[in-house]
Structure 1
Amino acid sequence: MDGRVSHVSDQDSAALTALGWSAFFDDQRGPDEAALLPMRIATVHRARVGAQSVAGPVRLVLPPPASSADLAVGDWVLVDADSRALVRRLDRRTVLRRRTEGGRGPQLIAANVDTLFIVSSCNEDLNIARLERYLVLANEAGTTPVIVLTKVDRVADAAPYRDAVAGLQRGLAVVALNATAPEAVHALAPWCGAGRTVALVGSSGVGKSSLLNTLAAKAPEDAQPTGAIREADAKGRHTTTSRSLHAIAAGGWVIDTPGMRTLHVSDVSTGLDALFAEIAERAPACRFRDCTHAHEPGCAVRAAVADGTLDPARLERWRKLLEENRANTPVLSGPHGNRTMKPRPGR
């Protein structure tokens, strides 16, 4: 994995840009860091970290007190050319993270992602509530979400599945495809140009690994393993066990992620408003500024439900996610200098 490392002055700037480097990252480099090499984190394991440089893959050295837990696939870092030691991580333009059950803090999923491909399939795995959670994740991170519906070759008509998700968020792109067909590359090409980064998220068995193999034109010996779903319940087994960065054959980069069976909404500020824009836009017209849209008089949101311009199911799902976010988002408490975390109280 240790490719030959050359100095910045020898690097092909076009190749660095194709890897996702931009002025946002270049502006963070100080005058005394000109000799340090920009590299992009490609794999993160507990005991080792791999990066992609313009010269090829490199295994990084993490000097203490640096920890692999502080790095996400997609991060940009500055590296000493001689020792391959990571000097520092650059600020992220976007970051995907989630809070896990019993976890002390958010878990990093991926960084510096332009587009999040939310992958589901045209079968019983299609779950509106789960897709909405992924959309909140994408909105909060500042990435562009795209719903990718796979396994269209296994149904007579994919239109009902496409129609079921098309209205989940304004301006939401929905693409239905066969993840193993070459046509999938063309269908997703608008988001996969040179220097662009996409990430794949979704449940196990929906075709993320198959889609990765197609986008990256993986040879059989290099392909990510894929697994069949159980026909009884459309559930799949985990085939991807860690996050990794891969070159897309036609340009750009794709980050593969393990399947997520659960995704808790937490630490959200604007993601819900983007998902439920029709509710957020009506809220200022409510009589009370802290209206819960549940029982207060003069509620513009409930008035829209009553006159048929707002789907009551959307309001109920908004309320559920809002309460989930409040319950799962810790707040700082305790005396100054001795802060502790406790769940945020609900209304």
Structure 2
Amino acid sequence: MTSKTSDLADLGWSTFFSVQLDLQELDSTEPVRVMAVHRNRLLVAGPCGQRDLPPFAAADDESATATVGDWLLLDAASGRTQRLLARKSVFQRKAPGSDRRLQLIAANVDTLFLVTSCNQDFNPARLERYLALAREAGVMPVVVLSKADLSDGSEDFVRAAAQLLPGIAVEAVDARCADSTYRLLPWCGRGQTVALVGSSGVGKSTLVNTLSGSGQLPTQGIREDDAKGRHTTTGRALYRLPAGGWLLDTPGMRELQLSEARDGLEAVFADIVAAAANCRFGDCRHDGEPDCAVTAAIAAGLLDAQRLRRWRKLAAEEALTTQSLSQRRARERAFGKFAKQVMAHKQSRRSD
């Protein structure tokens, strides 16, 4: 049992998960972790090695679909999935396009590397999105500035990133150089799980290859005209790190939209929220109302007007997508209730 627990700890198992098992399950089940998600199968790993499983999802709960980083409980005799263990963290977004469903990105992540580059890709608004996402999930965010070797002003990018959230860790690296990425190792120890997010072409795949000490992912250069790159990662998978941790690479999320992330936004924009608490009116829009503490703080140079505009945009987006999800869920609950009533009526007619 000690050896089995040790193997699980290597995969990221902790007391958070073990307390979810009762005494009977300890003897009759096998925990496995989802290492990769493919279109019609899951690659999982446990004390007995790796294997493929069918996708797992609960019919009545879209959030109970197994994603990368999840822990599944298998029946030791049949190997069938019994249930999905509760997550200590989860990243999700509204699916791209017109679909209003939530899309799971990763589960049970300890640290989120927000990867951007020291060039035209550096975008405070995008970083604030990622910071809100990390804060909402309760995960440690670390800003990783790639391509520092190609920039003469990497220190300026570091300062700009550090101003987005007090105390945020910011590391400028050359993603191709192991000596440079060494400073990221404190977040990559045994059993720790790190996820990467960032737009295409910022060097995520290169960083994965360097940190993992392999060339598992293809990479592409950036276009010289706009410093952007083509997306090279097509799936989500965990990669073993020499330091004992696990690294999750995710496809570029150009359509990342916030949903149900109000707490995360308030944490990232705590300075604006604190100032707004002193406005004369509780529903102040900070746009010319009398005795507005936010506009007063901007006039005094205590707040950045551009930051206020970014906060407004993200808050409006979060409210809209959250409302859309709530409306869809309400419709699905109503339809489910109606379907149950129809089935009950059919059963009663058959009984008659």
TM-score by length of 1: 0.88
**How far did residue 265 of structure 1 move?**
2.3
C-alpha distance in 2 between matches for 1:105 and 1:160: 39
Q: For residues 11 and 55 of structure 1, do their structure 2 counterparts lie closer, same or farther at Cα, with a shift above 3 Å needed?
A: farther
Superposition map of 1:1-347 within 5 A:
9=1, 11-34=3-26, 35-61=28-54, 70-99=65-94, 100-218=96-214, 220=215, 223-329=216-322, 330=324, 331-332=326-327, 338=334
Counterpart of 1:231 in 2: which secondary structure? coil
C-alpha distance in 2 between matches for 1:146 and 1:98: 20
Identify the residue that residue 344 of structure 1 maps to in structure 2: none
Counterpart of 1:43 in 2: which secondary structure? strand
Letter in 2 for 1:189: L
Identify the residue that residue 340 of structure 2 maps to in structure 1: none
C-alpha distance in 2 between matches for 1:86 and 1:336: 26
Q: How many residues align?
A: 329
Letter in 2 for 1:237: R
Q: For residues 183 and 316 of structure 1, do their structure 2 counterparts lie closer, same or farther at Cα, with a shift above 3 Å needed?
A: same
TM-score by length of 2: 0.87
C-alpha distance in 2 between matches for 1:196 and 1:90: 18
C-alpha distance in 2 between matches for 1:154 and 1:64: 45
Deviates more, 1:84-93 or 1:284-293: 284-293
C-alpha distance in 2 between matches for 1:336 and 1:189: 45
Q: For residues 335 and 134 of structure 1, do their structure 2 counterparts lie closer, same or farther at Cα, with a shift above 3 Å needed?
A: closer
**How far did residue 68 of structure 1 move?**
11
Letter in 1 for 2:72: V
**CA contact under 8 A between 1:130 and 1:263: conserved in structure 2?**
no
C-alpha distance in 2 between matches for 1:215 and 1:118: 15
Greater C-alpha radius of gyration? 2
**CA contact under 8 A between 1:39 and 1:78: conserved in structure 2?**
yes
Structure 1, residues 81-112: CA drift from partner, whole Å, max 9, x if none? 34332111001111001112212311110001
C-alpha distance in 2 between matches for 1:124 and 1:59: 41
Deviates more, 1:254-263 or 1:290-299: 290-299
C-alpha distance in 2 between matches for 1:168 and 1:63: 38
Q: For residues 77 and 169 of structure 1, do their structure 2 counterparts lie closer, same or farther at Cα, with a shift above 3 Å needed?
A: same
C-alpha distance in 2 between matches for 1:130 and 1:65: 32
**How far did residue 58 of structure 1 move?**
1.7
**CA contact under 8 A between 2:217 and 2:233: conserved in structure 1?**
yes
Q: For residues 45 and 69 of structure 1, do their structure 2 counterparts lie closer, same or farther at Cα, with a shift above 3 Å needed?
A: farther
**How far did residue 62 of structure 1 move?**
5.1
C-alpha distance in 1 between matches for 2:206 and 2:184: 14
C-alpha distance in 1 between matches for 2:291 and 2:163: 27
**CA contact under 8 A between 2:262 and 2:315: conserved in structure 1?**
no
**CA contact under 8 A between 1:184 and 1:214: conserved in structure 2?**
no
Identify the residue that residue 5 of structure 1 maps to in structure 2: none
Letter in 2 for 1:261: R
5+ long unaligned stretches in structure 1: 1-8, 341-347
**How far did residue 46 of structure 1 move?**
2.4
**How far did residue 156 of structure 1 move?**
2.5
**CA contact under 8 A between 2:205 and 2:219: conserved in structure 1?**
yes
Identical-residue share of aligned pairs (%): 49
C-alpha distance in 1 between matches for 2:2 and 2:194: 28
**CA contact under 8 A between 1:46 and 1:68: conserved in structure 2?**
no
Counterpart of 1:245 in 2: which secondary structure? strand
**CA contact under 8 A between 1:63 and 1:85: conserved in structure 2?**
no
Letter in 1 for 2:48: A
Deviates more, 1:78-87 or 1:162-171: 78-87
Aligned-CA RMSD value: 2.4
Letter in 2 for 1:24: F
**How far did residue 246 of structure 1 move?**
1.2
5+ long unaligned stretches in structure 2: 337-352
**CA contact under 8 A between 1:48 and 1:68: conserved in structure 2?**
no
**How far did residue 243 of structure 1 move?**
0.4
